[in-house]
Structure 1
Amino acid sequence: MFKKNARSSPAPKPSAQAVRRAVASSTALETGQSVLQLEQQLQNRQPQRFAHIKLAAA
């Protein structure tokens, strides 16, 4: 039988900076743009129109 993986605590959430870097590097690979440039664009974005609405958690 399979044993359950016993974790004492869930994995920590990635920081906003780590998420920006991941999105920027993925986009850079697809578009050929600079990772640094894309990361700065993501960081300098204005608040979105529906920022007050939260996504449903799974």
Structure 2
Amino acid sequence: MPQMAPIYWLFMFFFFIMSFMLFFMLNYFMKPYSKINFSSDSNKTLIYKSWKL
């Protein structure tokens, strides 16, 4: 039904906003980039994998 189209897009908009907020909240509180500490691992040799064949 064409009458249901605004309700559908409103639902999709709120779903997008909620998933966007959830992504940023998880990224803010978990901080996956701060778990890597290069200063304490200075004596260890880091192995970098290259994607080149």
TM bracket (short chain): 0.3 to 0.5
Q: Which has the larger radius of gyration?
A: 2
In the superposition, the TM-score normalised over structure 1's length comes to 0.30
TM-score, scaled relative to structure 2: 0.32
Structure 1 or 2: more helix by fraction:
2
